[in-house]
Structure 1
């Protein structure tokens, strides 16, 4: 049996090529090592299951009114598995579990759709501005500066008062201003990327500017775009909840977490309600926000090339 020289084996090991790792593979490994981020991701999955699957568990419709409670004391519909009111009832005798399910689902949809639109519009706008440069860049960025100087909440409230309080106007109002921050971030990253060798090679081969932006620049912005989108979702939820808390957002028969919190807080402060009418929607609101913030923070650390 031939013996292997330790020095020869060590040299073979040293010269053996190391298997390469992609950015996303490395980011996934480092994200999974972040306990806070993985726990927050698990919480988000549970909240999504509750929002989109809770309706199959609820024994009552969200607008169901228990007439046995009306005229007696609607707030006495305490949380109980025996009656099927898992979260109790609100001041009007409606099942709070079903309404919390719908409110959580609507708030998540507003946050996800609003941030998706903001990311798509902002990324394309910022990438075009940064790549073209010159006067085009100056004009496009001055437009962003002017829009950012306008009080956002004032414009949103004004739109809802003039054109009616509807879910569509809420999306339009939030979408008017939410893409501005993403546009500035995308433009700054594009100014760095457009001087890279692969972009210069594409220019030398005659590739059109729009194709370069879509195929070479935008894909290299995905890391920061994903992080920004994750942090933008809770911001959208806060905007919607604040507007609904003022009574200008989602209207009956629809509801959101902001509307439920507003209704529960008014009932508790006026002495005509019970604490659970506020605590249940408030719990899902706070849990959703913190989960998105922790996931966004974990993605930011995982995708940071300086920490690789």
Structure 2
């Protein structure tokens, strides 16, 4: 019969192996450890809720004119909860809160749709160019270089003047002329991906070239694409705001943050005292840009494999 030593130290239980974490799980944890990016994401969510659901609490429509405040808005048309004009009224007596809701929504939509078009076109174009290589790559990239040499803002203004100042033309102009940078980034990443083992294995098994690009190359570009998209959205918003500031963008009765900022700036420059007409849309404009930039910076740090 075996005798156990009471003074012996009991054996420790074998350590359980840590479960492996995927790239996206690791990136999510790294992102949420970035306090600035998390705060920016919360601000961005609040701005989106304001843009798409803020109209539910508005007491006035964006086109409704309060004739009692026309001409005296500098004195009586300021922000007030009692009158229901939460952000005050503009020079025409229209509720600035309702117009800021619509302007924020329209600016976000232009930024999102414009960046989506740019990312889809640019990613596919760059992936095809980088994977095929050779003379095809040279021709496709020279086309990109020629288009990049043309001033983007000049092309956009020319399109709006020639084809009309419609919202659809603004979407098309911003989206189709902003994919060039994404194409160069996707092409550079594809050059390093196409020599990987999984791509060579797909070639050896007889997978078609188009399937390799769509199923193997493009999915491995998602990290770069997501980061670039978050940084491209504020650029789209700035372009639209600049065009609307010049009076070539969104036309009445629609409005955007750029158009509202333009109206507020003209009111102040003309000697008016209704500063709220500028500060409210300008505040949402600046907050939206900084939120997107901080979120994009956080995603770039979270998805960078060199920092893991």
Counterpart of 2:100 in structure 1 is 100
Counterpart of 2:72 in structure 1 is 73
Matched position secondary structure for 1:105: helix
Compute the displacement of 1:73 (Å): 1.6
Compute the displacement of 1:8 (Å): 5.8
Tell me the alpha carbon deviations over residues 114-169 of structure 1, each in whole angstroms, 9 at most, x when there is no partner.
Answer: 00110011000000000000011001000000000001111111111111111111
Q: With the length of structure 1 as denominator, give the TM-score of the two structures.
A: 0.95
- Summarize the alignment of residues 188-227 of structure 1 with structure 2, pairs less than 5 Å apart: 188-227=188-227
User: Using the alignment, how far apart are the partners of 1:204 and 1:290 within structure 2?
Assistant: 47
Q: Larger deviation: 236-245 or 76-85?
A: 76-85
- Summarize the alignment of residues 170-249 of structure 1 with structure 2, pairs less than 5 Å apart: 170-249=170-249
Compute the displacement of 1:234 (Å): 0.1
CA contact (8 A) 1:91 1:273 kept: no
Counterpart of 2:146 in structure 1 is 146
Q: Which runs of 4+ in 1 moved over 6 A?
A: 1-7
- Where structure 2 has 5 or more consecutive residues not aligned to the other structure, the ranges are none
Q: Provide the aligned C-alpha RMSD in A.
A: 1.7
User: Using the alignment, how far apart are the partners of 1:23 and 1:254 within structure 2?
Assistant: 43
Counterpart of 1:302 in structure 2 is 302
User: Using the alignment, how far apart are the partners of 2:162 and 2:260 within structure 1?
Assistant: 24
User: Cα distance 1:25–1:6, how it changes in 2: closer, same or farther (>3 A)?
Assistant: farther
Tell me the alpha carbon deviations over residues 54-85 of structure 1, each in whole angstroms, 9 at most, x when there is no partner.
Answer: 11010000011001122x42333111001000
User: Cα distance 1:4–1:110, how it changes in 2: closer, same or farther (>3 A)?
Assistant: farther
Corresponding residue pairs, total = 304
Compute the displacement of 1:88 (Å): 0.3
CA contact (8 A) 1:234 1:289 kept: yes
Compute the displacement of 1:296 (Å): 0.1
Counterpart of 2:251 in structure 1 is 251
Q: With the length of structure 2 as denominator, give the TM-score of the two structures.
A: 0.95
Query: 2:110 aligned with 1:110, yes or no?
Result: yes
Query: 2:9 aligned with 1:37, yes or no?
Result: no
Compute the displacement of 1:3 (Å): 8.0
User: Using the alignment, how far apart are the partners of 1:3 and 1:99 within structure 2?
Assistant: 81
Tell me the alpha carbon deviations over residues 234-289 of structure 1, each in whole angstroms, 9 at most, x when there is no partner.
Answer: 00000000000000000000000000000000001101341000000000000000
User: Using the alignment, how far apart are the partners of 2:231 and 2:152 within structure 1?
Assistant: 18
Tell me the alpha carbon deviations over residues 207-247 of structure 1, each in whole angstroms, 9 at most, x when there is no partner.
Answer: 00000000001000000100000000000000000000000
CA contact (8 A) 2:234 2:289 kept: yes
User: Using the alignment, how far apart are the partners of 2:159 and 2:211 within structure 1?
Assistant: 37
User: Using the alignment, how far apart are the partners of 1:278 and 1:78 within structure 2?
Assistant: 12
Tell me the alpha carbon deviations over residues 178-225 of structure 1, each in whole angstroms, 9 at most, x when there is no partner.
Answer: 100000000000001110111001000100000000000100000010
